[in-house]
Structure 1
Amino acid sequence: MLPKVRAPESRRMIELEVLRNTKLTPSFSTITLGGADLEHLTPMGFDQAVRLFFPREGQDGLRMPGFDNEAWMAELLVLPKSRRPWVRNFTIRRTRPELGEVDIEFALHGDSPASAWARHARAGDPAGIFDMGMSYLPPAHAEWQLLAGDESAVPAILAILEHAPASLVAEVFLEVCGAADFRTDLTVPEGVLVHWLARDSADTLPGRPVLEAVKEMSPRPGRFYTWVAGEAGFATGLRRHLVRERGVPKSDIGFFGYWRHGRSSPG
């Protein structure tokens, strides 16, 4: 079985501040963070994820955990909410070590704490990150790849494509809220075909358009690696389809439930 995550060799809590807030499309924004602590982040590329810490509404600053290991979570949970920051998982979209900058791209979901913060974040606002490593780990035997996700996974998949070798062969399915969120300026390897899918209707379950598109897909020849992420039911459903209907070995599928439809994240 493939390892699920490649952890960083070393890591520490990194305190930063907002440098810029850039609107990309109606449903996506990029928050650029910077600060002297960024020298402690080792860029891994691809879908390198971090825990992002940001203040709750009404807090006048950011209290970061003191532990640089998994004990940070227990430390955080004993804090009263008046001092406890919000913490969510996000993918690093880009790093610019020479400028001391890192970009975190947000899919703006309703009034969730992260979306509300991203909409209103301004230069000088505090934030922090803690490196979680990467989960995109294609095996050497894969002749091509299937990358699929809803809007919450779009930043990770775009980062994967940006770091991909020119030899990558892949079918990519990206679901967003509407056609206005399509990115038409992507530069991808010649062997990569990107399919943008618009959900449009609020009655359509997240991930359903991608799942249906993959079911109708005529696969390329050869053994392939799948990386799928997004709403938990969608990611599990796509994996189930590949295993049961297409006979794909479970070890050739990386699947990750970033969120659950109708349920808020704890914290």
Structure 2
Amino acid sequence: MTTAVAAPFRFFSLQVARTRRLGPSLLRVTFAGPDLHAFLSDGRDQSLSLFLPRPGQSEPAVPVELGDGWWQGWRELPDDVRAVMRSYTLRGLRRDALGRTTEIDIDFALHGVDPGAASPAGPASRWAAGARAGDRVLLLGPAVEDNRAIRFRPPEDTDLVVLWADETAVPAASAVLESLPAGTRVRAWLEVPAAGDIQDLVTDVDAEITWLVRADTSRAASASTPLALDAIRDGGLPHARAPYAWIAGESGCVKALRRHLVRECGVDRRRVTFVGYWRRGLTEEQLRERE
């Protein structure tokens, strides 16, 4: 199988090295593979495409030739055979003494995997919940450290970084917090389904991090606005001359928060990076069709 595509991205054949449950809704999967030495990334909110096998498959089904025409070839595979493709962000990586990548971490937001869940699990949640060492996947990732799939790019004059993320974007927000220079002023709101999903983040920045737990509020789980919206309305943003905001998660929440930051808080819209990682009521396949 050909694994190269045009730089700055290429395919990597990986295996699960280990898994670790981070909380009721979050699971970390560590991947390794012989060609990870070519995986290069500056981290932050590095976007990745992960190809997963369907139930009963030992590896994801993809076209034999993964060159420039891989997308069309993948689309032409039968629906019940074609590998499940999902978008994730890089949580972390480890390198050997020569600086070559040996392992990468991806954090999965789980839903519907526990008995009695209100909604059924999607294919990625089902796969992650049952992942075992040696399970095989395919990853489309960066071969160049600074690439267009990194969106967190604060201007040089930024004097306050504002972050919002739901559980799907918490891995990226956490990586961002760990990557910023010591002393950077940060105001972050991280929204998760349960108190057990709160994590201890190690960072040298001057950060005020607020974890918002949906289970602790009376708001319905289907609400289309982030909990941070009320928090910002009540307390406002710290004074800053040139703030930069990065907001990511459910599309409706991202839209509502971006509107508030620009219209009510006066943040220059050109200094707001916003990414809809998912949309309530739609699968990633449905979103892809719409786009």
Query: Under a length normalisation based on structure 1, what TM-score does the superposition of the two structures give?
Result: 0.90
Of the three residues 225, 245, 250, the one matched with 1:231 is: 250
Amino acid at match of 2:106: I
Within the candidate set 183, 189, 196, 1:180 is matched to: 196
Matched-pair contact (CA < 8 Å) for 1:19–1:32: yes
1:28 corresponds, among 26, 29, 32, to 26
Amino acid at match of 1:97: R
Rounded to whole Å, the distance in 1 between the matches of 2:24 and 2:190 is 16
User: CA offset at residue 149 of structure 1?
Assistant: 1.0
SS at 1:234 equivalent: helix
1:82 maps to what in 2? 80
Residues 145 and 170 in structure 1, CA contact (< 8 A), matched pair in contact too: yes
Q: Compared with structure 1, are the counterparts of its residues 40 and 207 closer, same or farther at alpha carbon in structure 2 (3 Å cutoff)?
A: farther
- Aligned pair partner of 2:122 in 112, 120, 125: 112
Deviations along 1:142-189, one digit per CA (max 9) or x if unpaired, are: 111100011111000001111111021110100000111111x32222
The aligned residue for residue 89 of structure 2 is 91
Give 2:265's aligned amino acid.
R
Q: Where does residue 5 of structure 1 map in the other structure?
A: none
Aligned counterpart, 1:101: 103
8 Å CA contact 1:50–1:130 kept in 2: the answer is yes
1:127 aligns with 2:141: no
- What one-letter code is carried by the residue in structure 2 that aligns with 1:127? V
Structure 2: stretches of 5+ with no match in the other structure: 1-5, 113-120, 143-148, 287-291
Instruction: Give the Cα–Cα distance (whole angstroms) in 1 for the partners of residues 80 and 280 of structure 2.
Output: 27
1:50-65 equivalence runs, <5 A: 50-65=48-63
Which amino acid in the other structure matches residue 284 of structure 2?
S
Question: Percent same amino acid among aligned pairs?
Answer: 37
CA–CA distance in structure 2, aligned partners of residues 212 and 22 of structure 1: 33
State the Cα RMSD in Å: 1.9
Q: Corresponding residue for 2:116?
A: none
CA distance 1:213–1:73, change in 2 (3 Å):
farther
The verdict on how the C-alpha distance between 1:44 and 1:64 changes in structure 2, with shifts beyond 3 A counting, is: farther
Partners of 1:206 and 1:27 in 2: how far apart?
19
- 1:198-239 deviation line (CA, Å, top 9, x unaligned): 001682326521222223232222220000000000001111
Assess if the C-alpha contact under 8 Å between 1:63 and 1:83 holds in 2: yes
Corresponding residue number in structure 1 for 2:231: 213
Of stretches 121-130 and 52-61 in structure 1, the one that deviates more from structure 2 is 52-61
Preserved contact between residue 226 and residue 257 of structure 2 (Cα < 8 Å)? no
Q: 1:9, CA displacement in angstroms?
A: 5.4
Task: State the alpha-carbon separation in 2 of the partners of residues 44 and 15 from structure 1.
Answer: 21
Unaligned runs of 5+ in 1: 1-7
